[in-house]
Amino acid sequence: MGGQWRALHLARLTCLASAGFHPRPCHPAVDSSPPSADLVVPDSPHRESAESLLRWAIGVLDLDAETDDQGHVTIRLPEKDRPAWNGKDEITATDSGSAGNADELLTLDGPLGRWLLEKLVASDGVVHARPSGQPISVGDVSTRLFPAYSVDNGQFHLAGCQLTDHPFLRLTFAGTEEDPNVRHVFVAPDGSTVSDELVARLGLDRLEPAGKPTPRIDEAALRSLAGAGRRIAAKNSTVRDPAAQSTEPLLTAVVWVRHVDGRLQFEIGENSEELAFSGWARLLEPKPWKARRSGRETFHLAATDDGAIDAAEEMAVCQQSGRRVLRQDLVTCSVTEQQVLPEFTEKCPVTGRPALRSEFSACEQCRQRVSRSNLQGGLCQACRELAPVRKDDPRLAWVMGEHRGLERWNRWRLAETETVYIARADGLLKRLLVVVDKESLAVRRLATAGRFSSDWVDVTPTQQSELLR
């Protein structure tokens, strides 16, 4: 029985599958002599039963058929096909495990199976199909993308969208006596193997009719892809014997997979931004738009008061002006912690942090305008933390090099802010305070006080000239 099955199997494969490009009626005879060598059968994880393949064929052929609760399928034959079935107007078929009252079995070796496969390739030697559920139209693309995005006080639309069909190939091979399930081998448009992951993601294992009009593929390109598929099948064969006969595919299906290229355009007022997208239509997922200024990736767009479009998550309101701006354009007042535009602040020379201009006061000693949070007892932090220094301290030496008269004083203490040096000398009876601009070394304040007095008295211009020379 095994030899008979193999002979029938080989004859069926040679006839039906070699008809992939030149279909013809084929009714192989049964020969009890075994073939000279084992058949080479591709080892593919993509398998299905012959019954499943034939039920799929019935759907692809759009035959008038119904399936009952027991799984019996009744096909109402087109009038032109009735002569091949002795004038019958319908055929009832089922799988081999539950024949019942069925006329035919859904097997590849049976008359119905051969008839269905021959009808599938009757036009140009192949069957055309598409992955189930892949986006087909521009409307499908917008339906998939649009719900992910929102635009405050604006709108968005497709600024361009092109869908193109790319031919993948599915070669279907018969199984073995031990495992009669058919095996599918998939070929990418460039002739390479399609990974198992991509087969599932693109839906190549769930096909439906391609519909009309069917995309066209050049015969030379089809032959090239089919040849690549045979080489892939041979590489994945279960038998490595060089003398073994290669099985031909039972069925060749061109699977038209759609690729999409397009742009989304977001508009708020007179300004607009775009987001390009590209990829296999079935795998198309919304991707975030990246703002040029903030660099934030987002699905929610908004505009500042000056019209710049950016991520809504990066928008904030200036608590002084009420203007809607980017959060990165605001600064935090170090006194009130309000988020405000820099134009309403100035930087405290002691802390280096911004504060609202209304939150500044003058230090009673160095007379710099500093943030109020930095004042204690009328003195800024720099004046409160004067530290002892030697005369050869580079900062003090720099000041004395410009104002030689200061070298007569000893016991110096020094502090600095971003803009000035604050130096104090303590003598036996008198103290000297000098505040010097860090860039120009100009004296901003020169004052004296008694040894134990906290009241500084500014010197006159004449006294200043005497003290500094």
Q: How far is CA 287 from each of CA 109, 279, 429, 435, rounded to the nearest angstrom?
A: 49, 12, 76, 59
Cα–Cα distance, 140 to 150 (Å, whole number): 19
Per the CB < 8 A criterion, the answer to whether 289 and 275 are in contact is yes
Q: Which of 239, 258, 277 is the last residue of a domain?
A: 258
- In this prediction, residue 39 has a pLDDT band, given cuts at 50, 70 and 90, of low
Mean pLDDT for all residues in the chain: 87
Query: What pLDDT is recorded for position 93?
Result: 86
Under the banding of pLDDT at 50, 70 and 90, the label for residue 262 is very high
Cβ distance 85 to 91 under 8 Å?
yes
- Regarding whether 242 and 348 lie in a shared domain, the answer is no
Query: What integer pLDDT is reported at residue 34 of this predicted model?
Result: 37
- 235 pLDDT band, cuts 50/70/90, is confident
The enclosing H or E element of 388 equals strand 387-389
Long-range contacts (CB closer than 8 Å, 24 or more residues apart) made by 104-112:
106/50, 106/51, 106/54, 106/55, 106/73, 107/50, 107/51, 107/54, 108/12, 108/50, 108/53, 108/54, 108/174, 108/182, 108/250, 109/8, 109/9, 109/12, 112/54
Question: Omega into 213 within 30° of 0, i.e. cis?
Answer: yes
* Percent of the chain surpassing pLDDT 90: 67
Would you put residue 122 in left (φ > 0), alpha (ψ -120 to 50) or beta? alpha
Query: Quick one: pLDDT band at residue 166, thresholds 50, 70, 90?
Result: very high
Mean pLDDT value across residues 113-124: 83
Q: How far is CA 298 from CA 180, 272, 307, 385, in A?
A: 52, 15, 18, 48
For residues 107 and 165, membership in a common domain is answered with: yes
Instruction: State residue 176's pLDDT score.
Output: 84
Which pLDDT score, from 0 to 100, does residue 101 have?
Answer: 66
Q: Is 273 domain-assigned?
A: no
Distance CA 145, CA 159 (A): 13
Residues 6+ apart with CB under 8 A from 51: 95, 96, 106, 107
Q: What per-residue confidence (pLDDT) applies to 454?
A: 80
> What confidence tier does 243 reach under pLDDT thresholds 50, 70, 90?
low
> Which pLDDT value is given to residue 11?
38
Quote the number of domains for the chain. Answer: 3
Task: Answer with the residue of higher pLDDT: 81 or 419.
Answer: 419
Same domain, 27 and 105: yes
Instruction: Please give the pLDDT value at position 379.
Output: 96
pLDDT at 9 over 80: no
- Please tell me whether residues 62 and 111 are part of one structural domain: yes
Residue whose pair of structure tokens reads 């002006």 in the numeric block: 321
The residue with greater pLDDT, 253 or 100, is 253
Tens digit of each residue's pLDDT (9 = 90 or more) over 119-153: 888 766 789 999 999 999 999 999 999 999 999 99
Rounded CA gap, 223 and 145, in Å?
Answer: 37
Phi-psi region of 308 (alpha: psi -120 to 50; beta: other; left: phi over 0): beta
Q: Are residues 360 and 440 in the same domain?
A: no
Q: Which of 36-40, 143-147, 408-412 has the least mean pLDDT? A: 36-40
pTM: 0.75
Higher-confidence residue: 244 or 318? 318
Same domain, 157 and 175: yes
Question: 25: helix, coil or strand?
Answer: coil
Single-letter residue type at 329? D
The predicted structure's pLDDT at residue 3: 38
Task: Classify residue 436: in a domain, yes or no.
Answer: yes
Query: Quick check: 37 pLDDT over 70?
Result: no
In eight-state DSSP terms, residue 150 is E
- In this prediction, residue 100 carries a pLDDT of 61
The residue from 216, 238, 258 where one domain ends is 258
Residue 189 lies in a domain: yes
In a domain, 92, yes or no: yes
270 part of a folded domain: no
- Are 344 and 411 contained in the same domain? no
Determine the average pLDDT of the residues in 322-342.
Answer: 97
355 and 391 in a common domain: no
Residue 325 domain flag: no
Average the pLDDT over 341-353 and give the result: 96
358 and 391 share a domain?
A: no
pLDDT grade for 451, boundaries at 50, 70 and 90: confident
Query: Does residue 188 lie in a domain region?
Result: yes
Kindly state whether residues 356 and 414 are assigned to the same domain: no
Domain boundaries, position 156: 2-137+147-258
Lowest mean pLDDT segment, chosen from 25-34, 59-68, 186-195, 382-391: 25-34
Over the stretch 270-313, which tens digit does the pLDDT of each residue have?
999 999 999 999 999 999 999 999 999 999 999 999 999 999 99
Alpha-carbon distance of 159 to 273, in angstroms, equals 11
pLDDT at residue 1 in the model: 35
What angle do helix axes 111-120 and 2-18 make, rounded to 10 degrees? 20
| Residue count (the chain) | 469
pLDDT class of 169 with cuts at 50, 70, 90: very high
Mean predicted confidence (pLDDT) in 419-430: 94
Largest CA distance in the chain: 135
Residue 319 lies in a domain: no
Instruction: Note whether 206 and 351 are same-domain residues.
Output: no
- Where residue 13 falls among pLDDT bands split at 50, 70, 90? very low
* Final residue in a domain of this structure, among 238, 258, 278: 258
Specify whether 346 is located in the same domain as 464.
no
